[in-house]
């Protein structure tokens, strides 16, 4: 069965607060848009086969396979692809929680978006 989504060499996705765009060139996909936390532009590069496999999982709602597809892909790339949050956005979230005396335990879900935030007071 051919995955029809691989035919498209560029396009956009509505994931998170801001629309994200992608364009394939020479075996890699450039995926870019504004970070959902900082509202600043950010881009990642991911091998085409992993990106299109990710798109297929999203399109068919086969989320349980996403971890296996992204295995070996840099964590910052995974986070932006799944959550729309850049490394600066993750840092900003951490700093804002720590400002209020809270340590955070952030994790992101396979479906995109922050799954949970476990808050613990600082030990003084």
Q: What tens digit of pLDDT does each residue of 62-103 get?
A: 777 788 888 899 988 988 888 888 999 988 877 766 665 555
The one-character DSSP state at 122 is: P
Instruction: Of 99, 117, 101, give the one whose Cα is nearest residue 109.
Output: 117
75-83 vs 87-99: helix crossing angle, rounded to 10: 80
Distance of alpha carbon 23 from alpha carbon 45, whole angstroms = 10
**Strands annotated E in 27-75:** 28-34, 41-47
Token code pair at residue 45: 């590069």
- Amino acid 2: pLDDT: 37
Considering the entire predicted model, what is its pTM? 0.68
Structure confidence by residue, pLDDT tens digits, 9-53: 777 777 667 888 999 988 999 999 999 889 999 999 999 999 999
């Amino acid at each position: 069965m051919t995955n029809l989504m691989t035919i498209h060499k560029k396009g956009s996705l509505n994931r998170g607060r801001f629309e994200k765009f992608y364009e394939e060139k020479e075996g890699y996909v450039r995926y870019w848009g504004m970070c959902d936390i900082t509202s600043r532009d950010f881009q990642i590069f991911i091998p085409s086969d992993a990106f299109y496999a990710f798109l297929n999982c999203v399109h068919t709602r086969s989320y349980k396979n996403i971890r296996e597809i992204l295995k070996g892909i840099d964590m910052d790339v995974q986070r932006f692809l799944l959550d729309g949050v850049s490394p600066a956005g993750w840092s900003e979230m951490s700093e804002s929680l720590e400002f209020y005396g809270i340590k955070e335990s952030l994790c992101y879900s396979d479906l995109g978006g922050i799954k949970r935030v476990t808050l613990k007071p600082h030990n003084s």
